[in-house]
Structure 1
């Protein structure tokens, strides 16, 4: 069966889906709004939604029991956050010397199978990778994307931000790590990557994928080099980029930013039709190169 891409969907359907995914529209809103486009395509609105939703198993690149990695779930304390954090810790099975670390921050659905797979991919590039689940204190990722989004709205974001601060501290202190921590985040996680850059003066590198920008007043606090990825078709997120760029330049922050023309928000997520293989491959190669440069020396 041919894999669907963003080109197989009307642009208005993609906009509706983006609003639905980010809590700006309900499931019913999507179904009602997409109905006329579904009729033109000879399908149902429910069918459109199903076609746009993640297919985790089909996209998996690294199996959980891959012999090249060592993966486990760990819990750490987060006293000024939600009390405890549970996350997915993945290391290369064989490593010579101490390794750099990467904090992986999920989208607004918690630690789903896609983010676990991303974490394993990073470990295969010879990093220690750790992906916390922001939903842990609410029972963890529930195995259903709709339920996960509903849970996400119940989080105290101030406490959740502290959870990620503590997760970075945990990585920095790991005995088999070299003390350097980078962060990569996607959508919500991209916003957290930007936040951590303003919050952690010893952060070694930050890579936000299509994430919300920090307040302009906080940009001067950034010490880490930034590699920023944006989708070309993403008005909601891209609206904040001009002010962010101006603040980064004014504060003389080491940064690179790339806009991948024609790609949709979420283009790196290879479980959905919004995945853009060309853009994702380029952005990911730049990300690993960036981490190798800033976390290994």
Structure 2
């Protein structure tokens, strides 16, 4: 069962949240904040939310990119261009892509986005069947914000960022939740940074595990994109469910 609701960020801005609920015969195991890629709240993310709901999670997938001018329709259009099999089409779309994403990369955007995500946690905690069992996951842009939310809100019980950029060591030191981070081996920027992330997590005594899938690329989980890797996506899905079950449901 799914619906779209509106929540309000602390600055008064309303934003949409796709909510996927388990069916009436499935017990709610916890609440999950699901943060989209740089394409926004597109159909793929709604599908992932529905899949988690089938596993018993009450899922809240917020649209935090419409605030930056990238609504789901534009995000889907940009995704199609950047995943076109013709390299010349992808190259020609790069200037439009950079322009569309400029506001999201502005320094003040995170100052809006993280409090907005905190409002999503507020909403999940108000649902009577969640019982303070709240986790977060996200992909790419959403993986970065999954890290950031874990560093900003101590109500997060577990975080599973997919190919996201970890915060600074100072912010990593604020993470109290266990973190399972998933990467593709062929994602050089993130893989090159991973030793430093591991060290910062160890220095901060964060329960941190990083999984690197051999041969997988960035966005290997997205089954609508050209980098999708079914084998790695299936393994990652099972691993994240097990991680959440251990750290959130069974804790």
Distance 1:198 1:188 in 2: 16
Structure 2 counterpart of 1:31: none
Structure 1 counterpart of 2:13: 83
- Corresponding position: 1:99 with 2:29: yes
- Corresponding position: 1:145 with 2:59: no
Structure 1 counterpart of 2:236: 283
Cα pair 1:233 1:262 within 8 Å, conserved: yes
Q: Call closer, same or farther: CA 1:109–1:95 in 2, change over 3 Å.
A: same
Cα pair 1:227 1:255 within 8 Å, conserved: yes
- Corresponding position: 1:154 with 2:84: no
Give CA-to-partner distance per residue, 1:34-78, whole Å, 9 cap, x none. xxxxxxxxxxxxxxxxxxxxxxxxxxxxxxxxxxxx100000121
Distance 1:269 1:84 in 2: 28
Superposition TM-score, scaled by structure 2 size: 0.84
Structure 2 counterpart of 1:110: 40
Q: Which has the larger radius of gyration?
A: 1
Q: CA deviation at 1:204?
A: 0.4
Q: Call closer, same or farther: CA 1:267–1:73 in 2, change over 3 Å.
A: same
Structure 2 counterpart SS, 1:278: helix
- For structure 2, the residue ranges without an aligned partner over 5 or more in a row are 80-95
- Corresponding position: 1:239 with 2:169: no
Q: CA deviation at 1:139?
A: 7.4
Distance 2:118 2:102 in 1: 20
Cα pair 2:3 2:19 within 8 Å, conserved: yes
- For structure 1, the residue ranges without an aligned partner over 5 or more in a row are 1-69
Structure 2 counterpart of 1:28: none
Distance 1:139 1:232 in 2: 29
Aligned residues: 227
Q: CA deviation at 1:272?
A: 1.5
Q: Call closer, same or farther: CA 1:95–1:176 in 2, change over 3 Å.
A: farther
Q: CA deviation at 1:273?
A: 2.2
Structure 2 counterpart of 1:213: 166
Distance 1:95 1:85 in 2: 30
